[in-house]
């Protein structure tokens, strides 16, 4: 082991008792060598000299053997105290008051005085006083007036020195503790800084990865236009899909301070404002913008059909989903408009409706002819049919009527999908409509073993509407309820007034509908899974037609159901002046 490595292992800030004793050991060793050489310091009292050497040896052994760190720190001063007494014996053995080895007193004296605690000042001073006074006590004949003065004056000086040393040592310990605390705090801060830096680097890498992913997704969205605006409608976000759909780059739009209204047909905006009961002769930009975000400002997302207008004059039919744009604190800072090009979809829908309408017309003519000839055969008195033939004829006639009703439903849905169908508006007494539907369905209910209940108020409840269409809507609901209710169940048809609204509710105790399928019930040709599992007949047009009729009357269709418990469907109509006779039906309302 090298000297440097050995020295590096010495605890400088808190040395052991043995390390503090080393200077005293060296001093005594030098004194012993000087006393032993010829012409050196003469040994005047051998036993006292040897006792001093022995006592310092005992103190040194104690400093090395005893685990002073485990004991109370004050006990460690035993070692320098014994060393001071050993200096006194060494002095007595080498000339008493004339001994040059009195200087060794400083080594243990400084040790005691530098220890923590004011009591060590007294210990150091009293022990030094004993050492200096010893020659006068044990060698009374050799001390002169000067020795007596030194014996009493020197301890006073040593006391003052002890006070200074103790105070300096105390301040150094305080500064050292503060330095240690500061060093530990710095190490902790450094460790935290390193940890924070590592976490920052990791988060930065994650952020870069997330940004690359978001940018990749953003660039990949080319079939939908995403337009972001501030609270006033000024565009500040423009994705590649918007560039493709509207023919302008992001730089052209953002730098040009374009407003989202710039890409909408003015007549559609004005029609929307009229629907909001906000009629303006001239409207400001903010008022116009409200047509797009009024529903979003109220706290709901808005999905609506619009027509985008490109700078080259080309029109693009789109479906726009408008949502709020929030900051990190959840505050609304703008709006997001996600538009899907519906041009092809609407063209396909138009062709499909044209095909359905054409086929329906083509089917209605031969069906009417078939029914006419079946009626002639049944009523032919010249060639009467047998009972068996009449049964066969009844089956054919019943199925032909069923097919004719299906064709009529297809024609009606084609009118709905095209956006317009006629309504013959007049005053309608809903009690009569409900009663007629119930009475018409009673034979079917009786055959199915289902109890049909009618709950109609005594006072008449009138709305403005089409009697035939409203009756068709109620008939559809009652028919569905009877089909989905097993024998022994109950179907209740009720009418009530709820404020400024009339409510027709058809409630059954049937098989019910799964909650996840409720939103799809009004889609054309959709059938609930419970209907297919139980082999309930139908093609999935009844609720589509019913919702279209109700929507045309300015009402809504509310559906509540629980699988295995039953279903309740309510027609809610406004008790107020109706809309025009020919009503436009939004595509999204009929087939969400």
Q: In terms of domains, do 274 and 357 share one?
A: no
Give a yes or no: residue 208 inside a domain: no
Which among 336, 571, 338 has a CA at the least distance from the CA of 437? Answer: 571
CA–CA distances in Å: residue 336 to residues 220, 264, 324: 18, 15, 6
Select from 373, 401, 418 the last residue of a domain: 418
Model-wide pTM > 0.95: no
CATH number at residue 427: 3.30.565.10
| CA gap 305, 278 in Å, rounded | 19
**What pLDDT does 7 receive?**
43
Give a yes or no: residue 8 inside a domain: yes
Q: In terms of domains, do 129 and 237 share one?
A: no
Q: In terms of domains, do 22 and 160 share one?
A: yes
Q: In terms of domains, do 386 and 470 share one?
A: no
326 DSSP β-pair partners:
332
CA dihedral 400, 402, 405, 411 (to 10 degrees): -80
| CA gap 162, 100 in Å, rounded | 22
**What pLDDT does 283 receive?**
44
Q: In terms of domains, do 48 and 106 share one?
A: yes
**How many domains does the chain fold into?**
4
Give a yes or no: residue 216 inside a domain: no
Q: In terms of domains, do 88 and 153 share one?
A: yes
Q: In terms of domains, do 139 and 231 share one?
A: no
CA–CA distances in Å: residue 583 to residues 291, 415, 464, 579: 21, 11, 13, 7
Q: In terms of domains, do 337 and 350 share one?
A: no
Give a yes or no: residue 88 inside a domain: yes
Give a yes or no: residue 260 inside a domain: yes
Question: Containing domain of residue 497, as a range?
Answer: 422-590
Pair of tokens at residue 360 = 């329906």
Q: In terms of domains, do 141 and 284 share one?
A: no
* CB-based burial label for 10 (10 Å; 0-12, 13-18, 19+): exposed
Select from 370, 390, 418 the last residue of a domain: 418
In order along its 592 residues, the chain shows pLDDT tens digits of: 454 554 444 444 456 788 888 888 888 888 888 888 877 778 878 888 888 888 888 888 888 888 877 777 678 888 888 888 888 888 787 877 777 877 888 888 888 888 888 887 888 888 887 777 777 766 654 555 666 666 667 777 878 887 888 888 788 888 888 888 888 888 888 888 888 888 888 888 888 888 888 777 777 777 788 999 998 889 988 888 888 888 888 888 888 788 888 899 888 888 888 777 544 444 444 468 888 888 888 777 788 889 998 988 888 889 898 999 888 888 888 999 999 888 887 777 677 666 666 666 666 667 777 777 777 777 777 777 778 887 887 778 777 777 777 676 666 666 665 555 667 788 889 889 899 888 888 888 888 888 989 988 888 888 888 888 888 888 888 888 888 788 888 999 999 988 888 999 999 888 777 765 655 565 555 555 555 554 455 545 667 778 878 888 888 888 887 877 888 888 999 886 444 433 333 333 322 2
| CA gap 202, 200 in Å, rounded | 5
If you search the block for the tokens 């297809």, which residue do you land on?
410
**What pLDDT does 175 receive?**
85
Q: In terms of domains, do 567 and 435 share one?
A: yes
Beta strands in 385-519 (DSSP E): 420-422, 426-429, 451-455, 462-465, 490-498, 501-508
Q: In terms of domains, do 438 and 566 share one?
A: yes
Q: In terms of domains, do 270 and 322 share one?
A: yes
Select from 341, 365, 397 the last residue of a domain: 341
The full 3-state SS of 33-84, as one line of letters, equals: HHHHCCCCCCCCCHHHHHHHHHHHHHHHHHHHHCCHHHCCHHHHHHHHHHHH
**What pLDDT does 279 receive?**
42
**What pLDDT does 411 receive?**
66
């Amino acid at each position: 082991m090298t000297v440097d490595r050995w020295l590096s292992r010495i605890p400088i800030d808190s040395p052991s008792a043995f390390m503090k004793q080393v200077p005293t050991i060296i001093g005594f060793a030098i004194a012993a060598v000087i006393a032993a050489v010829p012409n050196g310091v003469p040994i005047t009292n051998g036993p006292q000299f040897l006792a001093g050497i022995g006592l310092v040896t005992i103190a040194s052994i104690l400093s090395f053997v005893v685990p002073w760190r485990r004991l109370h720190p004050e006990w460690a001063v035993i070692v320098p105290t014994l060393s001071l007494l050993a200096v006194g014996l060494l002095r007595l053995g080498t000339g008493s008051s004339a001994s040059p080895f009195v200087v060794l007193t400083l080594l243990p004296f400084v040790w005691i005085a530098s220890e923590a605690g004011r009591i060590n000042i007294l210990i150091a001073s009293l022990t030094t006083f004993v050492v200096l006074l010893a020659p006068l006590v044990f060698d009374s004949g050799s001390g002169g007036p000067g020795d007596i003065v030194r014996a009493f004056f020197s301890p006073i000086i040593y006391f003052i020195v002890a006070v200074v040393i103790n105070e300096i040592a105390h301040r150094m310990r305080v500064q050292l503790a503060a330095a240690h605390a500061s060093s530990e705090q710095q190490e902790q801060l450094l460790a935290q800084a390193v940890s924070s830096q590592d976490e920052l680097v990791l988060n930065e890498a994650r952020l870069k990865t997330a940004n690359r992913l978001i940018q990749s997704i953003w660039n990949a969205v080319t079939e939908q236009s995403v337009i972001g605006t501030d609270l006033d409608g000024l565009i500040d976000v423009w994705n590649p899909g918007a560039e493709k759909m509207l023919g302008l780059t992001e730089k052209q739009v953002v730098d040009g301070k374009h407003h989202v209204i710039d890409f909408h047909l003015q007549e559609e905006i004005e029609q929307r404002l009229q629907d909001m009961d906000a009629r303006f002769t001239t409207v400001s930009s903010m008022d116009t913008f409200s047509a797009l975000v009024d529903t979003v400002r109220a706290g709901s997302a808005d999905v609506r059909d619009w027509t985008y207008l490109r700078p080259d004059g080309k029109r693009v039919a789109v479906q726009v989903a408008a949502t709020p744009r929030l900051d990190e604190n959840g505050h609304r800072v703008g709006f997001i408009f996600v538009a899907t090009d519906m041009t092809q979809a609407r063209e396909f829908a138009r062709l499909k409706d044209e095909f359905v309408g054409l086929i329906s017309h083509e089917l209605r003519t031969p069906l009417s002819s078939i029914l006419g000839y079946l009626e002639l055969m049944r009523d032919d008195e010249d060639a009467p049919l047998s009972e068996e033939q009449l049964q066969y004829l009844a089956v054919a006639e019943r199925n032909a009527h069923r097919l004719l009703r299906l064709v009529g439903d297809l024609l009606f849905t084609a009118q709905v999908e095209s956006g317009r169908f006629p309504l013959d508006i007049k005053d309608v007494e809903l009690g009569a409509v409900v009663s007629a539907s119930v009475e018409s369905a009673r034979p079917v209910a009786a055959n199915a073993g289902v109890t049909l209940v009618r709950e109609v108020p005594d006072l008449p409840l009138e709305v403005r509407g089409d009697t035939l269409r409203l009756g068709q809507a109620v008939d559809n609901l009652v028919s569905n309820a009877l089909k989905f209710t097993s024998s022994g169940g109950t179907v209740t048809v009720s009418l009530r007034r709820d404020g400024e609204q009339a409510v027709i509710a058809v409630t059954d105790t049937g098989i019910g509908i799964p909650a996840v399928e409720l939103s799809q019930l009004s889609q054309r040709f959709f059938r609930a899974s419970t209907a297919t599992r139980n082999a309930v007949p139908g093609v999935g047009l009844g609720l589509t037609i019913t919702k279209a009729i109700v929507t045309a009357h300015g009402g809504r269709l509310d559906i509540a159901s629980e699988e295995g418990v039953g279903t309740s469907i309510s027609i809610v109509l406004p008790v107020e002046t109706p809309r025009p006779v020919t009503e436009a039906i939004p595509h999204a309302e009929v087939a969400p």
